Amino acid sequence: MHPDDKELLFQFRVPATKERAFNAIVKKYQEKLYWHIRRMVINHEDANDVLQNVFIKVWNALEQFREDSQLYTWLYRIATNECLSFLEQQKKRSALSMEDLDAAISDKIKADQGFDANQLEWRLQLAIQQLPEKQRIVFNLRYYEEMPYEEMSRVLDTSEGALKASYHHAARKIEEFIKNY
């Protein structure tokens, strides 16, 4: 059982309990954030780097965190921005064209130990990678995290209507891809 966020935030602001509170926050959210990042960057090593950077940023900024939003929403916001920055840097570093980059991401998925092209769940992963980055985030947050649009709107700073349209569009594209694979 994880402690309450408000209690953890209070403990974080007290120097004597700061590290212990932070440790508890990491333990509470590490898996959720890891999977959110992993579905975007695919590779475990990359996901590990991005996740560590996220928590370092959290450590540095948590004292200034205003409790008018939920800690959970704030953490997802940082993780999403870190993912997008990472993918942007990857694109800049790579000399590959967009098509080749898409193929490289598909190759990363196929490189996973458990990959099985006959399984619909793996085809689903390949289909998700065909989506534009922001649409991919919306789909993942709704489909896997079952995040309400209201909350997602605070994470992505986008209107609920736009998010809903994006999710519907993404789901249809994915279904089309799976059927034709």
Partner 1 sequence: MDQYQPIENELNSISPLLAGLQRRTVFSVPAGYFDGLADRIMQKIRLLEEGKDTDANELADVAPLLHAMARRNVYTVPKGYFEQTIVQPPARVVSMHRPRKWMRYAAAAALTGAIGTGIFFASRKEQAGDYEKYTKVDVSSAIDKVSDTELVNYLDKNERLTGSVDQTMVTASEELPDLSKHISQYSDEELKEFLDENKDLELVKETPGGE
Judged by the rule CB under 8 A, the positions of this chain that interact with partner 1 are 19, 22-23, 26-27, 30-31, 34-35, 38-39, 42, 44, 48, 51-52, 55-56, 59, 112-114, 119-122, 124-125, 142-144, 146, 148, 167-168, 171-172, 174-175, 178-179
Q: For residues 102 and 155, what is the distance between their CA atoms, to the nearest angstrom?
A: 26
- In the complex, least distance from residue 34 CB atom to partner 1, rounded to whole angstroms: 7
- In the complex, least distance from residue 10 CB atom to partner 1, rounded to whole angstroms: 19
- In the complex, least distance from residue 134 CB atom to partner 1, rounded to whole angstroms: 18
- In the complex, least distance from residue 168 CB atom to partner 1, rounded to whole angstroms: 5
Q: What is the 3-state secondary structure (H, E, C) of 31-69?
A: HHHHHHHHHHHCCHHHHHHHHHHHHHHHHHHHHHCCCCC
User: 93 or 179: whose CB is closer to partner 1?
Assistant: 179
C-alpha to C-alpha distances, 63 to 39, 48, 104, nearest whole angstrom: 29, 24, 40
